[in-house]
Structure 1
């Protein structure tokens, strides 16, 4: 706490701002900020965010530390539940922002560190929904937030190898999304569950579930539709359906090309870009027995990926190594596998460990 307090104070001082001015900019009282900067009160995540926005500099940028801070502080949902006041737009907006921050932390924080923070946030969100008082339009936002938290909790639990827990949370999220009348979000939850089943269950069941998600995603935006179709392609590839895989990959491209700056995509598809689509195409091509065409797609995509996203880099390199191994380029496969191990050591993941074992058996 002292290190973070010192960092906040140093950033404010470097910007030439008084504590009174920081109070005006962040809307927190001067005495409260003084206690935080002197290490007498914990620096809550929302306070750190307020400082970062006011000063336009990153503070407390250690992502693991940020995840741990979530565990020692009450969320706005928990505070609201205790107060008993009627929930309004302001709280809904705060909770939406917190989900976004947790989602982006998943890019750089391992599941063992992040999952407890997400579980805590999800539990407090569910308590607010059950015990709070709110108008219908605010309720829709709260249920949407809860559904998004459930999707994130399931994804991170699955990454930690806790598959039964992930499935339970995904399905609870579907219920929340349905309460919010948010069909694309419900489809995202079913689709993410299909991805898990593709990897650890029956791929044919996964393909059926993925196709059902696409069909039920009424009103889905182009990038959301592309994401849902990716899950169809992957499940089809795992099930050995070559024709279905290629058809789904073509549909992914078609959907993604329909995106437009004028279309408001949900924030939870922020990560889906051309490189990600090429990675999925490469993975599917390997699964259906065409590793030669997969290699250039994977090489280009991995080269453009942020190195701080260690888990994803390790995973995508593992498929590149597999493409080399399956085309007979064993030396390149071994060299790439060495890079996989380096990145995997930075951000442990059950998915990465499974991939390592598979590719090591090939070389």
Structure 2
């Protein structure tokens, strides 16, 4: 930890910052990126100023840099959700540097895998798969749920790259890791549960040409989501609509997509809009062929 001058910061302020990060992370479930992004940006700027200018012990510094890394991941996530991909990449990579300063390899892996997920969706899936694998290998001490998250993103990048064998192998490893979960997990994986894992498996099935197998997984998982999580419901219903469309059930696909759009209107997101457009193009192409 580098030596700093300036006002002395103790564990009390570190704890306040940690609590604020948790609060903001949970707000992301129900508040749009457009509303949340400037709030997170301000908190991150203040936290970065703190670690640059204040003085603190090594133990306090570890907590502060960890909070900066977590805020960077959250800021990158909401930037990407708003379609600001270059900004999101910069935030993820600056977060990796903070995680390294804190000696938190799991958090560094989470940041890299978040970037890989973005690249899989809007860039080169082969690059995303390489980055996702690097994230998995870079955190051998990852707890079971963290490892499941890192592996999920590798599975998705592999599916987007058309690598079916790796996708299925990694999804099996996700299940195995998640089954070993215990109480000792970082707070930032609170949201990864069986429904989320089934959603990802369903998405991979669609991507690799098995839409009929995806539908029951997606339908059951979506039923678990509270309606106030409107962005996730919108996104996941868009995948359900795609599963119906690719299985030739076009009326069902349109009905589900209409519902997804209604949820999307409640919590706007560039990710949702991109998905709606993709499914609409798919349906239009299928209509033309029919």
What residue is the counterpart of 2:200 in the other structure? Answer: 280
TM-score of the aligned structures, taking structure 1 as reference length: 0.76
Aligned pair 1:315/2:231, yes or no?
no
Q: How does 1:45-194 map to 2 (within 5 A)?
A: 85-194=7-116
Measured after TM superposition, the shift of residue 362 of structure 1 is 2.1
- SS across alignment from 1:348: coil
TM-score of the aligned structures, taking structure 2 as reference length: 0.95
Aligned residues: 278
Q: Select which of 256, 264, 281 maps to 1:344.
A: 264
Question: CA–CA distance in 1 between the matches of 2:120 and 2:96?
Answer: 19
Measured after TM superposition, the shift of residue 331 of structure 1 is 1.1
Q: How does 1:208-219 map to 2 (within 5 A)?
A: 208-219=130-141
Q: How does 1:197-276 map to 2 (within 5 A)?
A: 197-261=119-183, 264-276=184-196
- SS across alignment from 2:256: helix
Question: CA–CA distance in 1 between the matches of 2:182 and 2:133?
Answer: 24
Q: In the TM superposition, what whole-angstrom CA distance separates every residue of 1:40-80 from its partner, at most 9, and x where no partner exists?
A: xxxxxxxxxxxxxxxxxxxxxxxxxxxxxxxxxxxxxxxxx
Measured after TM superposition, the shift of residue 85 of structure 1 is 3.3
Q: Select which of 260, 273, 280 maps to 1:360.
A: 280
- SS across alignment from 2:268: coil
Q: Select which of 274, 282, 297 maps to 2:217.
A: 297
Q: Select which of 305, 328, 347 maps to 2:248.
A: 328
Q: In the TM superposition, what whole-angstrom CA distance separates every residue of 1:123-154 from its partner, at most 9, and x where no partner exists?
A: 00000000001000000000000000000000
Q: In the TM superposition, what whole-angstrom CA distance separates every residue of 1:208-229 from its partner, at most 9, and x where no partner exists?
A: 0000100001321000000000
Unaligned stretches of 5+ in structure 1?
1-83
Runs of at least 4 residues off by over 6 Å:
none
What residue is the counterpart of 2:287 in the other structure? Answer: none
Unaligned stretches of 5+ in structure 2?
1-5, 284-290
Question: CA–CA distance in 2 between the matches of 1:270 and 1:340?
Answer: 24
Question: CA–CA distance in 2 between the matches of 1:266 and 1:260?
Answer: 11
For the pair shown, the structure with the greater C-alpha radius of gyration is 1
The higher relative CO (CA closer than 8 Å, separation ≥ 6) is in 2
CA-based RMSD of the aligned residues comes to 0.7
Question: CA–CA distance in 2 between the matches of 1:341 and 1:292?
Answer: 22
- SS across alignment from 1:99: helix
- SS across alignment from 1:119: helix
Question: CA–CA distance in 1 between the matches of 2:124 and 2:87?
Answer: 18
Measured after TM superposition, the shift of residue 306 of structure 1 is 1.0
Measured after TM superposition, the shift of residue 195 of structure 1 is 0.2
Measured after TM superposition, the shift of residue 281 of structure 1 is 0.3
- SS across alignment from 1:220: coil
Question: CA–CA distance in 2 between the matches of 1:207 and 1:283?
Answer: 16
